[in-house]
Amino acid sequence: MIAVFCKDSERKVVAEFFELFKTPWEFYEDDQAYDVVVATKPGLPPVTAGLLILCGSFVTESDQQLPRPRSLRAGVPVVFRGNRIPLLHEVLCFEPGNCRVVCSTGAGELAGVQCTGNDRTIVRLGYNLFTEIESLLRDGQPLEHAVTPTIELHIAMLRQLILDAGIPVLEIAPSPFGYDFSVCLTHDIDFVGIRRHLLDHTMWGFLLRATLGSVIRLARGTLSFNQFLQSWKAALSLPLVYLGLVPDFWMRFDWFMKVEKGLSPTYFFIPFKRRAGQKLNMANASRRASAYDISDIPELASQLLQHGCELGVHGIDAWHDVKCAREERKRLAAVTGPVEVGIRMHWLVQDKRTCKVLDEAGYDFDSTAGYNESPGYKCGTTQVFKPLNVDHLLELPLHIQDGALFFSKRMGLAESQAWELCKSLIENARRFGGVLTLLWHDRSPGPERFWGDFYMRLVADLKKLKVWFARGSEAVGWFRRRREITFERAQALDGSSRFKLSGIGRRVNPPFKVRIYSPAVSDSDFPQRKADPAITELAWDGDTEIELGTDRPATAEASMGVLAISTCE
């Protein structure tokens, strides 16, 4: 059991952190025994825990027993086991001493040390873990750290410190049993065909890019000759498209339904046309207005629903006004019927109050937390999380967007570069679990973008992996049920300590993944050699109660050392 000794102002972010690192924990109480105590403020009473982790840039009395503090640093990362973890706040650095180095800054200064003695391990970290988490969840991380899953690295570091102290770790993994991670395929529907755009900036912009722009791209080698011909063909056929004599080359919904057959995509539709939105402080804000809305396309909406797709709101003014947010939700419900409604704001417009506004308006989830400029982790996590200022709403983070990869005014990557970047995010998802959320706009497969082949390849590669393709509401619902799981102390008849995982009263499909790490035993001949922890995984449907305990110590022959399981009637 982990105990947290913190300020009252930190309790909310601590609670959310341990929804992401789903492991037994509680706020510190004097009369309880703990395996691990994490303290982020001075004044901790004497504790007998096997591991004490002191976090913060303040100087404590305990620092007299550790290497002396040297200096404060701001804007530096910490490096732990080869992982570079960005920090948003100050870190206290220490003088070299006899303690083992836990982590250092990029410049080599000691940001964390570990001392062992008297049957206890003390780890001193020079930064406040929960202050970092709060800033990430509340404000997000700077663009320069976009591709770093910072929260997941913090979790991995804490887990490893516990295992290094010889303490097993029980957690509910952030991916279902049998899968490495989940995938949500999503689409922001900004345009429904080019036929709705006559003599406006959208039409003129397309013609410029399809003609002169295609010549420039062909010369630069970023457009194939076949794509060059398709661009000019589309441009020349535009009058026939307006007359209804040839198909609209921006209407690619049949293409998406074929590529994503059986993969449960989510489409976000504009609720009101010809509304750019209010309170916009950005260039070309008038271009945010759409030429269609959800009420114009009931047949298309019905077709998508019949193919197993999910529809959500592509919000206009919902980001800042509860009344507008409710109107936009009702506009979608008038077409789809009552559903658990998700939303993603058009152009990813938001401020610090947006999640609170959406929560009050009755939305189930939001998927606006992402970058327009880059793929990555706006809030530092692969997981669905709960914003700190809401009661019900959960956030489905956005990770990979077509426009961020390929637009010339954003990253403007070649496909080979984009592929390597996407592969790194996929590998992070395999390592940490959670959800990988993709956004491909509906006109992207057609001329003049031609981003369809890349998307087909990306989806095909994901299908080869152990992933759960889920609608946005399904992924969010799975994480919501994971949040309902509680850990209770239980005492076995033989006096050993166990944890009872309380069921949520209904079966979950796919089931939860109960993961147990047992500290690896060092080789007596090579004590400096670090072995990997032994890991076991169990499927649990959440409909029952189970007990898990540590019945025997780890040994070289039985390194798991954990696993007494009983089903509670």
Question: Tens digits of per-residue pLDDT, 41-76?
Answer: 988 888 889 999 999 988 766 555 666 777 788 889
**Mean pLDDT for the stretch of residues 355-382:** 97
Question: Tens digits of per-residue pLDDT, 108-140?
Answer: 889 999 988 777 899 999 999 999 999 999 999
**Main-chain phi, psi angles of 421, to 5 degrees:** -65, -45
pLDDT for 531 equals 64
H/E element holding 342?
Answer: strand 342-345
Which residue has tokens 């954990």?
A: 562
C-alpha distances (whole Å) from 361 to each of 117, 280, 343, 430 are 54, 20, 11, 35
pLDDT for 521 equals 62
First to last CA, the chain: 24
**Mean pLDDT for the stretch of residues 523-547:** 73
If one compares 334 and 549, the residue with the highest pLDDT of the two is 334
DSSP assignment of 464-483 = TSSEEE--HHHHHHHHHHHH
Euclidean distance between CA atoms 6 and 13, whole angstroms: 11
Tokens representing residue 568 in the block: 């509670």
Q: Which domains does the chain have, with CATH numbers?
A: 2-172 (3.40.50.880), 181-193+250-478 (3.20.20.370), 200-247 (no CATH), 485-568 (no CATH)
With helix as H, strand as E and coil as C, how does 431-465 read?
HHCCEEEEECCCCCCCCCCCCHHHHHHHHHHHHCC
Give yes or no for residue 529 having a pLDDT over 60: no
pLDDT for 12 equals 97
pLDDT for 66 equals 66
Task: 554-560: list long-range contacts, CB under 8 Å, 24+ apart.
Answer: 554/166, 554/168, 554/518, 554/519, 554/520, 554/521, 555/521, 556/521, 559/518, 559/520, 559/521, 559/534, 560/516, 560/518, 560/534, 560/536
Q: Is the pTM of this model over 0.95?
A: no
Q: How confident is the model at residue 496 (pLDDT cuts 50, 70, 90)?
A: low
Other CB atoms within 10 Å distance of the CB of residue 279: 11
**Mean pLDDT for the stretch of residues 492-501:** 68
| Position 8, amino acid | D
C-alpha distances (whole Å) from 87 to each of 149, 390, 569 are 12, 25, 46
Question: Tens digits of per-residue pLDDT, 196-221?
Answer: 999 999 999 999 999 999 999 999 88
Q: Where are the beta strands (DSSP E) in 470-522?
A: 486-491, 497-502, 512-518
Rank 165-169, 187-191, 492-496 by mean pLDDT and report only the highest: 187-191
Question: Tens digits of per-residue pLDDT, 399-451?
Answer: 999 999 999 889 999 999 999 999 999 999 999 999 999 999 999 999 999 99
User: Crossing angle of helices 415-432/452-463, nearest 10°?
Assistant: 30
pLDDT for 95 equals 84
pLDDT for 492 equals 60
- Secondary structure letter of residue 261 according to DSSP: T
Euclidean distance between CA atoms 331 and 329, whole angstroms: 5
* pLDDT above 90: percentage of residues in the chain: 75
